[in-house]
Chains A and B, each alone.
Chain A
């Protein structure tokens, strides 16, 4: 968690520096758009739960490392005041081969969106502020990574 911006290229370079075991790096950067469902948005406030956020991100990252053979991973999430065009979130996964890196990056984003305690408040062009509502599609995206119960075939 940080209020400052991040440089995705620099973060990837730092993650892979001096490594010769990484054959694939996938990164996802989420940016702030100036519209939400047709409404013009001029700013955003990102709130989080200090203490729980770190724990949830560490947990989803550990799960990704259990499920895919990752060599390295990184999650950066900004909090505080943001403007359209600003970076919000960065997920980087590194593996020997591309499939693990692609899948783990998608998993991390889907889980982060439904588990990590962040809340967005949007400020629209008319000065109104409104909390962003969670989307059912995000829950469905996270559900597809659910493992079958132990013992199921």
Chain B
């Protein structure tokens, strides 16, 4: 019996300068099954073309939310339907 390693379909959202650099506000993507964490996903995104490489070249300055909750880079993305990337917030 083999473990099913199917691609995972998620909605990615980008805000502020991350949106400007990727050139899109949101997209649906099929992620390879080996991507387990937010940090993995940022590393994978870096390889998706020059705009993504530019947007995610310094992952340490990018914050993330999984299903609309703030998470750390080590957070799992298992079962997520919406993952957002953005700079540190500047409201108020």
Contact = CB atoms under 8 A, between A and B. Distances in A.
Interface of A: 30, 46-49, 51-52, 55-56, 77, 88-89, 109, 112-121, 131-134, 138
A49 B18 CA distance: 13
B92 A49 contact: no
Contact of B91 (A51, A113, A131, A133): A113
Contacts of B86: 49, 117, 119
A26 B13 CA distance: 36
B44 interface: no
A47 B16 contact: yes
Given A55-B68, A119-B16, A48 B91 contact: yes
B16 A46 contact: no
Given A49-B65, A131-B16, A117 B92 contact: no
B90 interface: yes
Contact of A30 (B88, B89, B92): B92
Contact of B15 (A49, A132, A133, A138): A49
Contacts of B91: 46, 48, 77, 89, 112-113, 116-120
Contacts of A132: 90
B84 A52 contact: yes
Contacts of B13: 49
B59 interface: no
B64 to A, nearest CB: 11
Interface in B71-92: 84, 86-92
Contacts of B87: 119, 131, 133-134
Contact of B92 (A52, A56, A88, A131): A88
A88 B65 CA distance: 24
A118 B91 CA distance: 5
A52 B91 CA distance: 13
28 contacts: A30-B92, A46-B91, A47-B15, A49-B13, A52-B65, A52-B68, A52-B69, A52-B84, A55-B68, A56-B70, A77-B91, A112-B91, A113-B90, A113-B91, A113-B92, A115-B70, A116-B92, A117-B84, A117-B86, A117-B89, A117-B91, A118-B92, A119-B16, A119-B86, A119-B87, A120-B90, A133-B88, A134-B87
